[in-house]
Structure 1
Amino acid sequence: MGVLGKEIRMNRLMNQESGKLLAVAVDQAMARGIFEELMPIDRKLSEIVEGGPDAITMHKGIADTCFRKHAGKAGLILKASTFSPWQPNYDTWVTEVDEAVRLGADAISMGCIVGGDDQPEQLRNLGIISGQASQNGLPTIAHIYPRGNQIPEDEKGDWRHVAYAVRAGAELGIDIVKTKYTGDPDSFHKVVSSTPGKVVVAGGDIGNNVEDYFQMVYDVVEAGGAGITFGRIVWNNQNPTAIVKAFKNIIHENGTVNETIELYNELINQPANL
């Protein structure tokens, strides 16, 4: 049950030419607080969609009120959990699978922190939602990070911990795992090799230099990663449309970093066609 539906939705999510994913996340408000750069959210969504991402991750309320006019232009990934500024290492379940189906989502996503005291409960939630989503023909995406309190701070970027997080997702039936980049292609290739599933990276916090992000995305693809799900570096940009198109050049069109920088510089001052 649900096998064909899941395949159809996965094919809508993943670019049919490259087989990779370029997604943008706008689910940060409950988790990290209010960002002026995400205001007003409906206009920001329009600027992002104009760039042509494969999908956008958001919570159900924003999907229901702001995503309607973009239906069919980008895939919808519905976020089913969130942490908060006061509980940064615990993702609580806030949305059921049937709500994602009702809203026409192409996938449902859930956060999970490994290496902490709450790991057993968070992994249990991930396993449950994976099974429920599969029954309903819905792909699952897990945002899994090794940042629990039992992992020393200087080890949270170690590829072995990242690989553990990624493999845990695969063991629980997750279709796509979003995690942190380990800093270099060789170590990230080990992460990708640790799982039979697809691995995409989060933007993280490597500063505001877009050239650094272009290099990171290029290295991720070269290491075998399945793409990206970026948030702040996209919606915090003066021209979200331009930076999405630039990332597309690397992920879907095999562009080099230098080619992408040239393209971005051409696009950055062009107004979005909203």
Structure 2
Amino acid sequence: MKMTATVKAILDKYEATSSAVKANLHRILMQGHLGGTGKLVILPVDQGFEHGPARSFAINPPAYDPHYHYQLAIDAGLSAYAAPLGMLEAGADTFAGQIPTILKVNSSNSWATTIDQAVTGSVSDALRLGCAAIGFTIYPGGDNVFEQMEEIRELSEEAKSVGIATVIWSYPRGPNLSKDAELALDVGAYAAHMAALLGAHIIKVKLPTAHVEQKDAQKAYEGTDWSKQSDRVKHVVQSSFAGRRIVVFSGGAAKGSDAVYQDARDIRDGGGNGSIIGRNTFQRPRAEALEMLAKIVSIYKNEE
């Protein structure tokens, strides 16, 4: 498919980025039913690491099979599929070239006693598997965040040297952040900005609430009505170099379909680039998941 003016305008904002990395961003931006629109829907399946297999897949047993997720992403016409090393290796030959993949190179688990993740994949793994990007989680606010920043600096530098893009999951979490603070508008915008400063090509954050947590930041947010989620999305995008970086928003915990669709509308209306949505799709029966993803795509295409 020929590059669209929209995709060209996005890629033109990535100065000092090699043509090889831009080619992989192009792969993602031009893939599937949203190809060429500048909008993305990515399927992430790292929940087995984070929550365990039963909590992740027992509700929809076919999802225990890594091939299920590859096929779901392909049949739904999604932009990319993101997963840890073993999941991608389990379908790498069968699905080679059919959808861009993102290797999640760090992971945690539900028994962890620190707010941190282990490096579980490498750039050489991503290259061997033909991935378009690596994905990495940082926890702004965590005691180990500076080590995480150093890890992604090294991994991202290596990835860029071989033409692979970098996606950063930036999730505020730590001893000085309450649950309300983790989703606060000012904290979420700060997290997105840190990901941009770390050199992320694609930034993944959670949808923020209207809560403003930091006392030192409250004055900057006074006088503006933050009740509309689309306005909060717009502020997060603004914080990501005034929209010079691709920003996608996490689907979060399982929720009703109407809430999922409204999130997509608010992301679209706020200028976000799309959704990275896992449990809200693969924990549903396949037919229902495909129907949901089709509707999300139609929302991002301004068809409803």
- Of residues 175-184 and 39-48 in structure 1, the stretch that sits farther from structure 2 once superposed is 39-48
Return the TM-score normalized by structure 1.
0.87
Q: Which runs of 5+ in 1 are unaligned?
A: 257-274
Maintained 8 Å contact 2:45/2:83: yes
SS of aligned partner of 1:141: strand
Q: Distance in 2 between matches of 1:169 and 1:133?
A: 16
* Deviation of 1:91 (Å): 1.6
What is the aligned counterpart of 1:107 among 124, 133, 142?
Answer: 133
The equivalent of 1:272 in structure 2 is none
3-state SS in 1 of match to 2:167: strand
Aligned amino acid, residue 296 of structure 2: F
Alpha-carbon contact 2:73-2:80 (below 8 Å) kept: no
- 2:42 paired residue number: 23
Provide the TM-score with structure 2 as the length reference.
Answer: 0.79
Q: In the aligned structure 1, how far is the partner of 2:171 from the partner of 2:26?
A: 26
Superposed CA offset, 1:109-128 (max 9, x none): 01111112111111211222
| Count of aligned residue pairs for this structure pair | 254
Confirm or deny that 1:60 pairs with 2:85.
Answer: yes
| Residue 213 of structure 1: how far off its partner (Å) | 0.4
Please state whether the residue corresponding to 1:247 is helix, strand or coil. Answer: helix
**Larger displacement relative to structure 2 (2-11 or 228-237):** 2-11
Partner of 2:284: 237
**Counterparts of 2:132 and 2:97, CA distance in 1:** 11
Match of 1:265 in 2: none
Q: CA deviation at 1:57?
A: 0.4
Distance 1:43 1:31 in 2: 19
Q: Give the CA deviation at 1:17.
A: 2.1
Structure 2 unmatched runs, 5+: 1-15, 210-228
Give runs of aligned pairs for residues 1-274 of structure 1, distance below 5 A.
3-15=18-30, 16-34=35-53, 35-36=57-58, 37=60, 38-87=63-112, 89-183=115-209, 184-196=229-241, 197-205=245-253, 207-238=254-285, 239=287, 240-251=289-300, 253-256=301-304
1:68 match: secondary structure? coil
- Cα distance, 1:44–1:77 mapped onto 2, change above 3 Å: closer
- Given that residues 85 and 120 in structure 2 are in contact (C-alpha distance below 8 angstroms), is that contact kept between their aligned partners in structure 1? no
The SS at the match of 1:218 is: helix
Equivalent residue number for residue 221 of structure 2: none
Per mean C-alpha deviation after superposition, the further-off stretch among 174-183 and 148-157 is 148-157
Deviation at 1:2, TM superposition (A): 7.8
Q: Which amino acid aligns with 1:7?
A: K
TM-superposed CA distance for 1:44, in Å, is 4.0
Distance 1:217 1:117, change over 3 A: same
Q: Which is bigger in relative contact order (C-alpha 8 A, separation at least 6)? A: 1
Does the CA contact (< 8 Å) of 1:30 and 1:82 recur in 2?
Answer: yes
The answer on whether the counterparts of 2:172 and 2:191 sit within 8 Å (CA) in structure 1 is yes
1:169-204: per-residue Cα shift (whole Å, max 9, x none)? 111111011010014111221111011221101111
CA separation of 1:2 and 1:174: change in aligned 2, threshold 3 A: closer
Q: Which segments of structure 1 move beyond 4 Å, counting only runs of 4 or more?
A: none
